[in-house]
Amino acid sequence: MKKENVLQQKIIALKQQKKAVIFAHYYQSPEIQEIADFVGDSLELSRKAAETDAKIIVFAGVYFMAETAKILNPTKIVIVPDINAGCSLADGCPPDKFRDFLKNYPNHKVVTYINCSAEIKTMSDYVCTSSNAVKVINAIPPEENIVFAPDKNLGKYLINETGRDMVLWEGSCVVHEAFSLEKLIDLYQKNPDAVIVAHPESEAHILKTAQYIGSTSGMINYIKASPKPKFIIATENGILHKMQQEVPHKILIPAPSKEDNTCACSECAFMKMNSLEKLYKCLLKESPEVLLAEELITKAQKPIQQMLKI
């Protein structure tokens, strides 16, 4: 039996013994997605975290996602395979700098994309994900001014979609900024029957080429419902595993990145810091654990609950 399969079986047995649940983001490697109890995008994972009655949540994603799970279900033990799995968006919005930035915009509603730290969430009126960002912005009365952080690309997309003039924090996702327009056009010319779908964290020139723009789960639903047989996917490469399971008869091609890497795609190095080995060890030792101060949890819960209400 392959080493990965042995580890997968050991994890499944340990998970049952410890009454744990494994949540994995779509951007995790296929071998982690295969043993997860639930695979989803940030919004779906937040909802599941709020509902679960498992004793332990093993969160295979990046740190801010595990923090969100802890905020939504503080009595649970939330553990992560690698505590250093960060995110360029969350790390590019340090709390002290954001606090100073907000001083320039008093009387603004603060909407933050879920890809930010718990401390940034405490400074927000609303949290949103790429699945519900348009709804959240539209739910804010038109006379209110808005600061949107930390993703400027998603922010620009939302300004276009909602017509709201928002102040944007200058953050971005390294993975979604890595797509090459030149290579994408070249790929499309070779596959003129393909439909380009893109995540709104991508840059505006990539979004202009897309026939569909949406969150990871939005893209999956779109491709499932579409009668077209071929798609070029502009988001993190890990999603192709789940998509291909959903539409085995369709051709899915990852959008090419600027770099000439081995996968000819864009992969999140932070997401890929997790491995089966690290996941097994963290479940065995119930560590590293996400530990947050009670006050931080209480304050960060408010804008997330606002989002879940909408």
Instruction: Say how far apart CA 42 and CA 199 lie, in whole Å.
Output: 13
173 lies in the site for ligand SF4, by CB under 6 A: yes
* Cross-sheet strand order for the sheet of 77-79: 38-40, 20-25, 56-60, 77-79
Name the minimum Å distance from CB 190 to ligand SF4. 26
49 lies in the site for ligand SF4, by CB under 6 A: no
Site for ligand SF4 in 51-90 (CB under 6 A): 62, 87-89
Single out the segment in contact with ligand SF4 by CB under 6 A; choices: 47-55, 152-160, 172-180, 282-290: 172-180
Name the minimum Å distance from CB 91 to ligand SF4. 8
The tally of CA atoms less than 13 A away on the side-chain side of residue 246 is 17
CB 57 within 8 A of CB 23: yes
CB 222 within 8 A of CB 197: yes
- Nearest residue to 169 (alpha-carbon basis) of 129, 213, 212, 115: 115
Site for ligand SF4 in 90-149 (CB under 6 A): 115
* Residue whose CB is less far from ligand SF4, 8 or 179: 179
* Residue whose CB is less far from ligand SF4, 56 or 89: 89
271 lies in the site for ligand SF4, by CB under 6 A: yes
Instruction: Say how far apart CA 116 and CA 123 lie, in whole Å.
Output: 11
Site for ligand SF4 in 176-235 (CB under 6 A): none
270 lies in the site for ligand SF4, by CB under 6 A: yes
Instruction: Report residue 260 CA to chain centroid gap.
Output: 24
Instruction: Detail the residues annotated as belonging to a binding site for [4Fe-4S] cluster.
Output: 87, 173, 268
Q: Peptide bond before 150: cis, by omega within 30 degrees of 0?
A: yes
Q: Residue with structure tokens 């996702």?
A: 173
User: Among residues 24, 45, 154, 175, which is the contact residue for ligand SF4, using CB under 6 A?
Assistant: 175
List residues binding ligand SF4 (CB under 6 A).
27, 62, 87-89, 115, 173-175, 236, 268, 270-271
